[in-house]
Amino acid sequence: MREFYIVNDVIDGIPLSLVSHPGLFSKKKIDLGTRTFLENLIIPQQGTVVDLGCGYGVIGIFIALKNENLKVYMLDVNPLAIATSKMNVERYNLQNRVIVMKSDVLSALQEKVDAIYSNPPLSKGVDFLQKFAEQSAEKLKKGGFIQMVVYKGENNVLKIFSNYFSDIKVIKRSKGYSIIVVNN
């Protein structure tokens, strides 16, 4: 049997108990950036949203638990992240409105969405951010938004996303993390 961890936490009144594995980001506990992000999420009342780079599913499952009126896509390129997210979606019995898919950025997404959330892997460099911005411009509904948290990568995000979007704001800065909202 593969080694695993159970990550237990309560964020903004939502209890989380998620399976995680070695090889996944922040495998033993929810990192400070994700915690700060979740505490400052803007969540639409209804529609379809994406957790891009879902890892073991913290952001997508949190959103699904916060608002049962949303359809949530959880996307990742890593097969272990996909398998672990699917397991966590089943733990919460959310399969009827949370879809976990393997995707290179947003390429597997076949519909336009109201919001895209991400703690993007800045270790993948500006190429990832470029794809993220370009594909978001195609997949985001008019009036939709992107919300992301980055650690010391704010300038790159602002520069790249400004090539596709004109309304970009940093809504919070804390301990090296920036929460950025991009409106379409």
Instruction: Answer for the pair 54, 75: CB distance below 8 angstroms, yes or no.
Output: yes
| Among the ranges given (64-73, 77-86, 124-133), the one the predictor scored with the smallest mean pLDDT | 124-133
| Closest-CA residue to 182 (of 43, 129, 164) | 164
What confidence tens digit (pLDDT) does each residue in 15-33 have? Answer: 999 999 999 999 999 999 9
CA 108, CA 179: separation in Å to the nearest integer?
Answer: 25
- The domain made up of 31-183 has a fold known as Rossmann fold (3.40.50)
Assigned token pair, 13: 């009144």
Reported confidence tier of residue 167, pLDDT bands at 50, 70, 90: very high
Instruction: Find the largest Cα–Cα distance for the chain.
Output: 49
What is the percent of the chain with per-residue pLDDT over 90, rounded to a whole number?
Answer: 93
Integer CA distances (angstroms), 90 to 29, 74, 85, 108, 151, in order: 20, 13, 9, 21, 30
* Boundaries of every domain in the chain: 31-183
